[in-house]
Amino acid sequence: MSVSSVEIHRHRPETPWSYADLARRQEAVAEEVRGGAPGRLIFSEVAPVVTLGFRKTEEDLLFAREGYAARGIALLEVTRGGRATYHGPGQWVVFPVESLERLTGDRKGVRKAVEGLLGAIRAAVGTRFSGAEIREGKEAGVWTQSGIGGAKVAALGIRIRDGVIQHGVSVNIFPTSESFAGIRPCGLDAPVAYLAPEAAPAERERAMLDWRERIERELLARFPNFA
């Protein structure tokens, strides 16, 4: 695996990493890709934030805006599709920043890219939720079971600009006190799920590492240009 093709960034007190930092990094990579450079598969665990996509609505925010700051949760408008969602510790945010043509063999291969991305996540989480399914439309992401019900374990939100895919998916590993506080995730009144919901504090780091490796393995199998 090429060291330069996969990046890992994690928020720590001594090395802060916010969603704004991630946004700047992906923009820099996207600009390099437009100039002909290879893309990057970026994994991030960011500081607590509620991001608001192009379809944002105040109905998704259950607190007054100052209430998020009081809880240490940032609010940030971002350049992806979709509505409000949460990112923070205990979750991997995965951005496959690359040209659609290199990623899928098709300059207009948006659907191929989405299918590959969600297919990889479903395969990875299937070891925990055997009935996991991909959903589209307003429920876009990976859910714990098919049919009515279930809970969303991974959310999708992308943007295509000048033939380059940006943003991606977020995968919930374990909850914290800030996780999804005060929002209707993606405008849905539906539960969210975690891959290691009962992990003790001492086990959480191993859970993050193990699940990241599984997700990366499935993504590289579908998008070998990152390997």
Active site residue 68: no
Give long-range contacts, CB 8 A cutoff, 24+ apart: 129-138: 129/153, 129/193, 138/186, 138/187, 138/188
Q: How many CA atoms lie within 13 A of 17 on its CB side?
A: 19
Whether the CB-CB separation of 198 and 68 falls below 8 Å is answered with no
Q: How far apart are CA 169 and CA 180, in angstroms?
A: 16
- Sign (positive or negative) of CA dihedral 113, 114, 115, 116: positive
Catalytic residue, chosen from 22, 113, 154, 186, is 186
Residue 16's alpha-carbon distances to 82, 132, 198, 208, in angstroms, are 26, 33, 26, 18
Active site residues: 186
